[in-house]
Amino acid sequence: MIETRTLTLTEIEDLSFQALVAAGTSEENARPLAQATAATEADGVASHGLAYIPIYCEHVQCGKVDGKAEPVLSQPKPGVLNVDAATGFAHAAIDLGFEKLIPLAREQGVAVLAIKNSYNCGVLGYHTYRLAQAGLVGLGFTNAPASIAPSGGAKPVVGTNPFSIAVPGDDGQPALLIDQSASTIAKSEVMKHAREGKPIPVGWALDADGNPTTDPNIGLKGSMAPSGGYKGVGIALLTEIMAAALTGATLGIHASPFSGTAGGPPKTGQFFIAVDPAATAGGNFSDGILALVEAIHSQEGAHLPGDGRRSKRLLAQGNGVAVNTATLEKIEAILK
């Protein structure tokens, strides 16, 4: 049985912040990543939460990510924002971009943000969620080191490459939030099983010859199984175009792994599109979204993407989150 300890969201953020700073991250870069870590734990996505803090710290110390990087914002066209993350954490670069993206999208109706020379942005839906909170429809893409083989092949060429869309609601929470990778399951879940010595279900990953495996270590040396077969590969390619080709970031086939210490900075990218629904649909947008949501919620047992995270998020605000004690011990060791 896994031992856990309950922490408040503030305690999770503070612990993450302290560990990142202790590892050599500037306070300006540590804070947005710590805030995202707490929000991720609140949503119940433990594989991307505190479990990643020791990895982030290791990557700062080995130079895979520059903890003191200063991202640079530019605006080459009226509706286009670029941020060079300077091989630093994605979260600080995204924060810098969002400060300009949100008012720009409100002013023009639509605006885009392209980020290059970046790093793992964690849960992509955390970022689109913030755009929805600002009353905008947020669409996001992020590429990753190659881990999915093409249809009919066995050598990875694209990453798990998630995309996310968040739609504003009337209560400060997104009415709808889709956040899904191009693989059957996020690679971090396979990594988590490998760390814990647990087998993975059939259908999560393939061995080096393209055969299904339940051994997470063999799967990590092979490839992730695409969601929906060739359709998942299509989603991965779409995201690669948006997050790497359109941003000038490194393609997944050339990016260093998000795990381990080898290879230097991955220099991957993120791409966000923010749309003001009032500019495109007038007063009809909210009615249409409410009708769509109700058509699903009115069916017994049916649920929308994001419903699970939403319920956990609201509970965590008052009850805190149960965190793996072994994970906490690793983080506390960084502070000694």
**Could you give the 3-state DSSP secondary structure of residue 197?**
coil
Active site residues: 47-48, 189
Residues 6+ apart with CB under 8 A from 151: 226, 229, 230, 233
Could you tell me which of 272, 279, 267 has the C-alpha nearest to residue 162?
Answer: 272
For residue 335 the two structure tokens come to 């502070």
- Which residues, in sequence order, are CB contacts of 69 under 8 Å at separation 6+? 29, 85, 86, 87, 88, 89, 92
Residue 195, CA distances (Å) to 166, 189, 198, 227 in order: 32, 10, 8, 23
In this structure, the number of other CB atoms found within 10 A of the CB of residue 17 comes to: 21
Burial class (CB in 10 A: 0-12, 13-18, 19+), 50: buried
Amino acid letter, 136: L
Among the listed residues 185, 273, 182, the one whose alpha carbon sits nearest the alpha carbon of residue 234: 182
Q: At what angle do helices 27-42 and 124-133 cross, to 10 degrees?
A: 90
Q: At what angle do helices 90-108 and 27-42 cross, to 10 degrees?
A: 80
How many whole angstroms separate alpha carbon 134 and alpha carbon 219? 39
Distance CA 31, CA 50 (A): 14
